[in-house]
Amino acid sequence: MTAQNLLPRARHEHLLRQLDLHGSVSAAQIADELGVAQVTIRRDILELEKSGLLARVHGGAIGVSAPATPQSARTDIGVVVPSSVGHFPVIVKGMDAASHAVHARLILATSQYRHDLERRQVERLVELGVDGIILAPTLRGRTETELLDWVRTIPVPVVFLERRLRSTGLAAFDSARTDHAGGAVLALEHLAALGHVRVALALFDRTPTAPLIREGYMRAVADLGLGNAPEVALPKDDLDDLDEALARLLDSCAATGTRAVLVHTDVHAARLVEMAADAGIRVPEDLAVIAYDDDSAALALVPLTAVTAPGRDLGQQALRTLMDRIAEDRDERSAPRHLMMLPGLTVRSSCGAVR
């Protein structure tokens, strides 16, 4: 990438690094270093000032409130998530967006849903000297007691991410997660308001999110007085098996007069829409579809209404929770903080409503 095509984020990071080193920056000097116009740097300075990261002065900017924090005072934060695709990248981006204001550096590692790799990644981060860890632990094939026994050996503060943990021992740790059950309720309330009396469910069962979605779905069916509707579990990898499960769902919906469905995830929902089109079933006229997850929902054949997780906000709050915990005196620790954030509903074409 040439200097002229440097992304705003890269310019912002350069500006903030120079502020950390020198306490002030000149717009002309930064423009010369990056090979861009001074007006571009002045616009960057204005954006960073709005975020509270610096203060404008004539010809440049200075650090806010106090001299720039010395590099030695930076806080290193380890982040261990199962995957670098899908649900978690947006959350990590939220952490990254909040990291500059608190002088934190993120070190990201993935576990690939493997207990052994997860443990090694945490050990590596501790060896690197991180001050705290944000962890989305792998739960499949592990009891909460086993998880607790391990996490208690981690010598730095830990914040759990996107996991509902029931044991009182694990409840002693801070956590931040999405209210996935509430997200399912939100979807069914929307479909019920559109006049649907039953809503089918297609669930990607192998994820930690799936039981929470089913819990919210069952609660909403009872509370809204909805009728019984088809439910299918979606397979993990085999595309033929997936198509078979989705075809079975379409047949069951037709047989029971079910004209709405909640599909986890948006990738599976997009495939359902394609198969419906091949079968002559119109979305949303014949079948209303809401996707659970909004990573690629807008790009489906029919843009999908989707339950949209508060990813960036959740990441920012998880980081701030850990920074607060790190700053506390060990002898005067406050009570554990359990943050839960409700998703939103992004209405597009697939449910037959415009909001």
- Per residue in 303-348, pLDDT (tens digit) is 999 999 999 999 999 999 999 999 986 667 789 999 999 999 999 9
Ranges 13-17, 76-80, 182-186, 203-207: which has the least confidence: 13-17
Tokens of 187: 């979807």
Average confidence (pLDDT) over 138-164: 95
Length of the chain: 355
* Cα–Cα distance for residue pair 283/264, rounded to 1 Å: 17
Q: What does DSSP say about strands 60-62 and 24-26: parallel, antiparallel, or unpaired?
A: antiparallel
Task: Tell me the percentage of the chain whose pLDDT exceeds 90.
Answer: 66
Q: Which CATH superfamily is domain 180-309 in?
A: Response regulator (3.40.50.2300)
Residue 254, by phi and psi: left (phi above 0), alpha (psi -120 to 50) or beta? alpha
In 3D space, the residue among 67, 43, 69 whose CA is nearest the CA of residue 56 turns out to be 43
For residue 73, the model assigns a pLDDT of 57
Average confidence (pLDDT) over 21-29: 80
Cβ atoms of 49 and 12 within 8 Å: the answer is: no
Label residue 5 by pLDDT band (50, 70, 90): low
Residue ranges, comma separated, of all CATH 1.10.10.10 domains in the chain are 3-62
Say what the alpha-carbon torsion angle 335, 128, 91, 170 is, to the nearest 10 degrees.
Answer: -30
For residue 191, the model assigns a pLDDT of 98
Label residue 207 by pLDDT band (50, 70, 90): confident
Global confidence as pTM: 0.76
For residue 18, the model assigns a pLDDT of 83
Residue ranges, comma separated, of all CATH 3.40.50.2300 domains in the chain are 75-178+312-342, 180-309
Label residue 104 by pLDDT band (50, 70, 90): very high
The architecture (CATH level 2) of 3-62 comes to Orthogonal Bundle (1.10)
Cβ atoms of 25 and 15 within 8 Å: the answer is: yes
Q: Which CATH number fits domain 75-178+312-342: 3.40.50.1980, 3.40.50.40, 3.40.50.2300, 3.30.2290.10?
A: 3.40.50.2300
